Structure 1
Amino acid sequence: MPPRKRKASTTAMAATPNTPPDKKVKATGTTGQTGIRAKLTGLTSAMTSLTSTSLVSRAKTSKSSGKSHQSKPAGFYQSSSGNGSPSPTEKNLNKLFDQYRDNPKEAPDTIGIEGAQRYLTDIKVELDELAHLAICDLLQCPSIGEFERDGFISGWRSASAGSKQYDATANQAQYVDTVRKKLSADPDYFKQVYRNSFKLAKPEGQKSVPMDSAIDFWNMFFRSGKGGIEWNTASTKWLDLWCEFYESRNKRPVNKDLWNMVGELVMKTKEPEGESLSWWTEDGAWPMAVDDFVAYVKDKRKADGDTMDTS
């Protein structure tokens, strides 16, 4: 049976209209990759206590240890006021950043794995909670377990407002509490963090996220236990179905288009009439994996004697 043609235009849910549907590519293994825990575990006894979590057990390639680090020239981090000198907040942030550097001589503008673990502990962030990824997004982390000076300073500067300055770990921990609440209350913010986490989930130098790593991240984002949202409706456990389908039928790495559209699928199925799948059409702009998933759910419902209208 020839593949279905896709619409040139998008549906209301398709946020990336010019991105081609996910291509059927050969799955790749995850040997040698080191997920969130593997990047940060083994450094202190506190990290080993995280062994029960699923997300941080998955693989993600570490940044090369041979990466070149060059210190920024004096005056690089200047006040946005234009007076040529760093503001008190910027000075405090620079001093704070310096406290967590792993190798000040070789990498003066980088916080590495050990420093990242200490810093996250000090601002009361657990490695396997969604707020961790939100902070990585705010501070423009190049990878999990690594902070760079420019992203660190510009991120906390952007979070500051009026007299409230986040230039010490105590008030940054307070901001993390705000982030946790925002993730559960603001769908647009949740969507932003989810989409931007693609670069953290994929191995360096690759264009896709390995299947098992993607499943771990989906379990983090779409279960409420660690700050995510529940992808369930009245009679359908969507996340379980999606993971079951992906592991048994699709078995492919997840490209950026599919990653983004899974987030759209979650929101679509949670709409008042979303559970019935009546919104889906064969010539819609969804990636092929989503089309196949809809067919999978319909077949499963028929086999289980489900009378819900999915036409």
Structure 2
Amino acid sequence: VKMSLRSQTVEQQNLCHQFSEITQATPEVAASILRKCKWNIRQAIEVYWESADLCSPAVDSSAIEALFDKYKDPDDNAIGVDGLINFCNDLEIPPDDLRMLYFCYNLKAKSAVRWTNGEFVQGLARLGVDSIVKIRDSLKSMRAELTSPSKFKDFYAYAFDISRQDGQKVLDLQTAIQLWKMLLEGRFEHLDLWCEYLEKVYQKSITKDTWQLTLEFSQTVNEDFSNIDLDNSAWPVVIDEFVEYCRAKVPS
């Protein structure tokens, strides 16, 4: 491996350094994955986060079970609301922080307010963490991990599903706005206007289709909406009307 690292070009060494900075992977892992991806760093990062072949660090399973027992509901073999609050207090992270939603995502939890024994124990094992300190440290890499477009898209879809009220197919508008402000900050130039329009004009619940297409819209719309042709639009009505709302506020 050392020979292969020394034989890299300067450009390849720089790519390895960038890869390791983002993922915290070792230089050897960085070089191996980048080589497999023909030195395409964006593709390599996605492969790194998504590959099932990457083994998690060894964990102390008894320590994970002890953590679960510490926070679980005494009347249920699951961590409920009270346990979640205590867990967040120990992490020193507010319950409504985006990092906690991301933690749920990594647990593959089906509820944001109830974690089963299997979700918690298996989730921590996958993450390679077995203590509060290690969990807190693992969440520090959230922003770096979400630089992967496919991982962010998957997390974004998960946020909708886990935030719906039981039995509901749509998302309450205020919940959706709160999530968008966390998820799309720095990603959607018109985020403030979008939330303003939804609160003042739209005032309806958000469907899964609208949720998903909002992400696509945020990634493709020009700053001045010049690439949106309302006469031949394939966007849902809510987005078309949002564009009209914005154009009316700032006449060309």
TM-score of the pair, normalised by structure 1 = 0.57
CA contact (8 A) 2:160 2:208 kept: yes
Question: Which sits farther off after the overlay, 242-251 or 110-119?
Answer: 242-251
Shift of 1:290: 0.9
The answer for the alignment partner of 1:107 in structure 2 is 76
Identify if the C-alpha distance between structure 1 residues 151 and 275 changes in structure 2 by more than 3 Å, giving closer, same or farther: same
- Unpaired runs of 5+ residues, structure 1, are 1-86, 160-164, 224-228, 233-237
Shift of 1:205: 0.9
Q: CA RMSD in A?
A: 2.1
Give the Cα–Cα distance (whole angstroms) in 1 for the partners of residues 227 and 59 of structure 2.
Answer: 53
Shift of 1:149: 1.4
Given the alignment of the two structures, is residue 280 of structure 1 paired with residue 228 of structure 2, yes or no?
yes
Give the Cα–Cα distance (whole angstroms) in 2 for the partners of residues 231 and 91 of structure 1.
Answer: 43
The answer for the alignment partner of 1:172 in structure 2 is 135
CA contact (8 A) 1:117 1:145 kept: no
Question: Which of 203, 207, 227 in structure 1 is aligned with 2:169?
Answer: 207
Deviations 1:13-72 (A, max 9, x none): xxxxxxxxxxxxxxxxxxxxxxxxxxxxxxxxxxxxxxxxxxxxxxxxxxxxxxxxxxxx
The answer for the alignment partner of 1:95 in structure 2 is 66
Alignment of 1:54-203 (within 5 A): 89-103=60-74, 106-108=75-77, 110-159=78-127, 165-183=128-146, 185-203=147-165
Give the Cα–Cα distance (whole angstroms) in 1 for the partners of residues 139 and 179 of structure 2.
Answer: 20
Shift of 1:128: 2.8
> Which residue identity is paired with 2:163?
A
Given the alignment of the two structures, is residue 222 of structure 1 paired with residue 190 of structure 2, yes or no?
no
Give the Cα–Cα distance (whole angstroms) in 2 for the partners of residues 284 and 156 of structure 1.
Answer: 45
- Secondary structure of 1:285's match? coil
- Unpaired runs of 5+ residues, structure 2, are 1-57
Question: Which sits farther off after the overlay, 252-261 or 283-292?
Answer: 283-292
Question: Which sits farther off after the overlay, 254-263 or 212-221?
Answer: 212-221
The answer for the alignment partner of 2:214 in structure 1 is 262
> Which residue identity is paired with 2:130?
D
- Secondary structure of 2:64's match? helix
Give the Cα–Cα distance (whole angstroms) in 1 for the partners of residues 96 and 249 of structure 2.
Answer: 32
- Secondary structure of 1:259's match? helix
Give the Cα–Cα distance (whole angstroms) in 2 for the partners of residues 220 and 242 of structure 1.
Answer: 14
Give the Cα–Cα distance (whole angstroms) in 2 for the partners of residues 283 and 124 of structure 1.
Answer: 50
Deviations 1:191-224 (A, max 9, x none): 322221112322111111111221222222233x
Larger relative contact order (Cα-Cα within 8 Å, sequence gap ≥ 6): 1
Q: Which has the higher helix share?
A: 2
TM-score of the pair, normalised by structure 2 = 0.69
> Which residue identity is paired with 1:209?
L
- Secondary structure of 1:254's match? coil
CA contact (8 A) 1:156 1:166 kept: yes
CA contact (8 A) 2:59 2:125 kept: no
Percent of aligned positions that are identical:
27
Identify if the C-alpha distance between structure 1 residues 278 and 173 changes in structure 2 by more than 3 Å, giving closer, same or farther: same
- Secondary structure of 1:276's match? coil
The answer for the alignment partner of 1:249 in structure 2 is 201
CA contact (8 A) 1:123 1:176 kept: no
Deviations 1:128-183 (A, max 9, x none): 32111101111122322221111112222222xxxxx3122221111011124433
Shift of 1:88: 6.1
